[in-house]
Structure 1
Amino acid sequence: MGMERVLKTSRLCLRAPLGADAPWVFERWAGQPERLAFLDWAPHRDVTQTRQWLEWDQACWFKKTGFSWLLLPEGEAHPVGQVQLLPQRPDGRSLQHLRLGYVLARGWQGRGLMREAVQAVVAHALAQPGVWRVDALCAVDNPSSQRLLAAAGLQCEGCLACVLAQPNRQVAPVDAWLYAAWCQADGAR
């Protein structure tokens, strides 16, 4: 699989994370509980934890066990968000099915940047040989993400009960909508 570490859109540079990004990532979302409310990981305690997490992301790139891109809008020197694809390996070997996740810093919502990033990442993933599906789970009480995923071209396939962990909001897993984009058997998207 040839996932590119840098993707460009008309307004964004999406690039793989670096350890040097840690202060910005920590300040803008990784250390901010309100930015992580709908995600399945806890806020980082400090910049050191964020740096370790970004180094883990780099190792995942190397091993092809995960792919993360930081969002840098045109004219912005530091990241304002992140998009990630994690392989869902039904056969333990291939990268046929990828799970999408994303987070955006406060103050950057409402500009269409995450929609643009998600569209670019999903299109790039589905263009890879052997990748046939990208999907995302979205809490039923998160209408902003529901709109974003639909606007990015993913189709809502239905609701899954008690499937999404959100430790920053509650103890029990919540119901989630499943959105997906896929390739047909003939390779059409």
Structure 2
Amino acid sequence: MRTICFFNSVENWGGGEKWHFDTSLYMHQKGHKVLVITHEKSELLNRLKDTGVPAIGLKVGNLSFLNQAKIDKLKNILVEHQVGCIIINLSRDLKLAGLAAKKAGTEKIIYRRGSAIPIKDSVLNRYYFKNIVTHILANSEATKNTVLSNNPTLFPEENITVIYNGIDVDGFLSKEVNTQYYSKNENEIVLVNLGRLEAQK
């Protein structure tokens, strides 16, 4: 059985990191060979410590893809762990992990897109999406529809798959909720939005 690698170098905790945590843990519990590679100081690495999910912390930055030693180090990790599929969460991670995975002979190099923001039509992106990435994983139809809006020929649309973020319904419903933030009137309709308070959201 080949290993599924999740690569995410974000130090803080957010939606993408939660997805990597939940998905890698779920697949590990189902008996799949899983490896998480993340930043050595990341919250993701910290939360994975007591789960049994194999995880490696690396020092990764925006320009790591220019460092041949780091590319080779990551390539060797992928070869050692017999990685057959790598899921990459960020464009900056794609530059490093994509190159390393290509050199390692990884069969599936998947770029996960978690926000409905078009991919920039840059020379670098055109190279990566035509020569490195084999599949794109989108978290919604809206995200899928924006991926190629800047360049419809950037990547084969048939290799873009939508998989919605999973929810542990039983776990959610079993949680005891004690905090009441607002009491609505009898005939009042309350609309709620959860997300960061910024222009992107």
TM-score clears 0.5: no
Q: TM-score range by the shorter chain?
A: 0.3 to 0.5
When you count helix as a share of all residues, which structure comes out higher? 2
TM-score w.r.t. length of structure 2:
0.34
When you count strand as a share of all residues, which structure comes out higher? 1
The structure with more radius of gyration: 2
